[in-house]
Structure 1
Amino acid sequence: MRVLFTMNPAPGHLFSMVPLAWALHLRGDQVLVAVPQPLHQQVRRAGLTAAVVGGDASFFELWPSGLSLGGNEELDLNVFVALAERTRDDVDALVRAWRPDLLVTEPVEYSGPLAATRAGIPWVLQHWGLPVPEPVHNAALARVEERLSRLYGGTAVDPPALTIDTCPPSLGAVPGGTPMRYVPYNAACTIPGWLLEPSPRPRVCVSMGTVPIPEGVDGLSAAVHGLRELDVEIVVSGAGVHGIAELPADVRRIGWIPHNQVLPGCALFVHHGGAGSSMAALTIGRPQLVMPQMCDQFAIAERLTAAGAARAIPFPQRCAAAVRIEAGKLLSDDGYQARASELAAEIAAMPSPSAVAEILTVR
């Protein structure tokens, strides 16, 4: 079977879909990933084959003029529609030339479902982890309805043949979704020796994700300085690490190491609320301090705190003092760790990507 994956040019969007792509590849299926040029290096690092669609289209090039990233709670889909406008013709041509049997895409990639509908092949929707609440997503879709209509050119896009849901059931599964265990992936690395050694103090990982915006650097700085007032070992990772010119000598700066390798030795994860970071912590079973900074991260923070596995700091209140207070509460209350462990057990009991690949193969 030939399976075409389509996604937006963001590492976090790719990472959540790699395990299913691997599972299909290991079954003997042919897998191709269609993305704009900026994501090709990450696709190749994942051991997958890429095809260019949309040229060098990127989020930062197409982000609406004047719309701030940091602190913006509104889910604005215009950038995703703009990306689909750039990729639509290339994805159509690729589908005609490569002739896939199945197309797999993500919630805000719009050219793939259109191409599948036009070619008469089934398509599958895979969620990243904690899906955006349906009312929020529907409201965002309504704001771009006219632009999507022009993109589709009058074509009524077929509904997905299957919706894959990696959200643990107690956090709000997608109605009618097919559950699949979330398997963390965010590239390979060489693990430093100290990471395998127990820390004499509680280890806390801090990361502000893969999108290097100024607000992420500010949040990272606030987190580090707030945590230094507690008796903890601080480990800083992710895209924003190099945005801080100086870090205290007792803070470890580790760059890009997958969170599923770092978090098992940690007592707490402080992060921006991205879907991948949140799911990595849930999978490992670690409490989270969420400092949301844009888009769906605010909804994710609300869901995690409501579940009892996290605390959150509102964007206007981000500062070292707030981090010290909230992290202290998480580290001193065993209830957060207990709830995080329960959610990790839920995830472990979900069907593996290999099991879901078997379902897709018979379609």
Structure 2
Amino acid sequence: MACSADVRILFSVGPGYGLMLPIVPLIWAARIAGHEVLVATTAEMPDVGARAGLPVVDVFPEHDVWDALLRGITSEGDSPEIERVAAATGLSEAYEKVSQAGNPFGLFTLTMTEGTIDAGRAFGADLVVHTTDHVAGRLAAAALGVPVLEVGNRISWSSRDEKFRNGRNLYDDDDVTLALRDKLGIPGGPPRVIARIDPRAPSMGGLVADEPDPLDGIPWWSMRFVPFNGGVVVPEWALRRPERPRVGVTLGTVVPIMSGTSNLSAVIEALGGMDVEVVLAAGKADLADLGTLPENVRSAGFLPLSTFLPTASLMVHHGGSGTTAAPLHYGVPQLVLPAFADNPMSAERVVARGVGLSHDPATVDAATVRAMAERLLTEPAFRAAAREVSEEMATQPSPSSIIERVVPLVGA
């Protein structure tokens, strides 16, 4: 194995923006510290990682597993695309069981594990870093016989939370992992886990101090969330402080595909009638249904949130984990219209901490959005709470300090 000053670290990451982007600062930290890194992912994420200056390997090339997942969720009945992708692994029966159990992430495990193992072996990995929701990384570490650093990439929940554990060990096998162990000859049992990372601020449910996991004694470490939303040529207007309150609006990358942009209608109508400057960061979403945008709305397409959040007074969004965490980092109040998955949990955390408000997007109207936005812009308690969380996050260990801490333990 390499010495502690030259560790080869394989980062195993799921194929979605919300799964990949939160871990990029940790990968940068490892590279800056002088370690060799390789990111194992697929779908659009190899391009995203490469644009972030990272060495990336596509572990399931010629198939867009993320697109297959979305097609399976949005279409009625069985998805031919999912069946085709699952068949490419030779484990369609295992995926069918996982599909029936409502575990779409099983598709990532099935399609990405073998390629991740092959990449890690060719790379000579000494350590695997994987996100909590990405089982392919855990199985790859077991196959390679190397330790693991497990990193939470959610600001709304962690596998520390009792309701997500249900009394089960985090490494219990299901039909997919058992089938993969059999097919690929992966040894039974979990890899050695050096630590698990919780990126939440203590007042948002995170760690106050290191603590052992109650099920297996593995230590939990806190880590500061550092926002990364991609690179961009920063527009000149974003660098200037606006003359009136700047309000950011986004639905992320998944909601427009799953539900369209109808939720934006009430938001744009409400904000269009207020004395604010609106930055609509809608990516590639089709905005035709919104009609002609009000004069105070700037349609910015794809624009990383960190570009304009330092000068923003409010962020309106769908409750994605990274989208919730970025305003916390900058001390900006939030209005959350939660969509699905863990979005409602993000909204619950925001409201409970007093950093924002939330409303069901299915029943919200322009008058309600306007009333909530006016509260968030004028009542100082929301801004004060958001700044408290931002200051709290700044005291958490940085990604660089996590790398410094874990590397000496790799060969222990």
Same fold (TM over 0.5): yes
Which of 136, 145, 150 is 2:179 aligned to?
150
**Among candidates 60, 66, 78, match of residue 67 of structure 2:** 60
Alignment of 1:138 with 2:181, yes or no, is no
1:4 and 1:102 in contact (8 A); partners too: yes
Does the residue aligned with 1:79 lie in a helix, a strand or coil?
coil
Does the CA-based 8 Å contact 1:19-1:183 persist in structure 2? yes
- Offset, 1:158: 3.0
Aligned to 2:265: 221
Summarize the alignment of residues 1-363 of structure 1 with structure 2, pairs less than 5 Å apart: 1-55=7-61, 56-63=63-70, 65=72, 78-132=103-157, 134-138=161-165, 145-153=174-182, 155-158=188-191, 160-173=193-206, 176=212, 177-211=220-254, 212-239=256-283, 241-244=285-288, 246-363=292-409
- Hey, what's the Cα distance between the residues in 2 that align with 1:321 and 1:313? 12
CA distance, structure 1, for counterparts of residue 361 and residue 188 of structure 2: 40
Tell me which moved more, 297-306 or 159-168.
159-168
User: Which residue does the alignment assign to 2:98?
Assistant: none
* Cα distance, 1:316 vs structure 2: 2.4
Please list every run of 5 or more consecutive structure 1 residues that lacks an aligned counterpart in the other structure. Answer: 70-75
Do 2:283 and 2:303's aligned partners in 1 also have CA atoms closer than 8 Å? no
Quick one: structure 1 residues 102 and 132, their matched pair in 2 at CA, closer, same or farther if it must change by over 3 Å?
Answer: same
Flag the 1:37–1:68 CA change in 2: closer, same or farther, 3 A: closer
Amino acid at match of 1:317: T
TM-score computed with the length of structure 2 as normaliser = 0.80
TM-score normalised to the size of structure 1? 0.91
- Secondary structure of the structure 1 residue equivalent to 2:64: coil
Give the distance between the partners of 2:357 and 2:371, measured in 1 at CA: 11
Aligned identity (percent) is: 32
| Number of residue pairs the alignment of both structures matches | 357
Amino acid aligned to 1:304 = V
Mapped to 2, the partners of 1:156 and 1:144 lie a distance apart of: 9
Q: Distance in 2 between matches of 1:66 and 1:279?
A: 26
The Cα RMSD (Å) is: 2.5
Partners of 1:145 and 1:64 in 2: CA distance: 24
User: Quick one: distance in 2 between partners of 1:107 and 1:218?
Assistant: 32
Q: Is the 8 A contact 1:4 1:32 kept in 2?
A: yes
Specify whether residues 346 and 94 from structure 1 end up closer, same or farther in structure 2 by C-alpha distance, changes over 3 A only. same
Equivalent residue letter for 2:16? A
Residue 66 and residue 349 in structure 1: after superposition, are their counterparts in 2 closer, same or farther (change >3 A)?
A: closer
- Structure 2 unaligned segments of length 5 or more: list them: 1-6, 77-100, 213-219
Distance 1:361 1:203 in 2: 42
Distance, in Å, in 1 between the alignment partners of 2:181 and 2:390 is 40
Question: Could you tell me which amino acid in structure 2 is paired with residue 156 of structure 1?
Answer: G
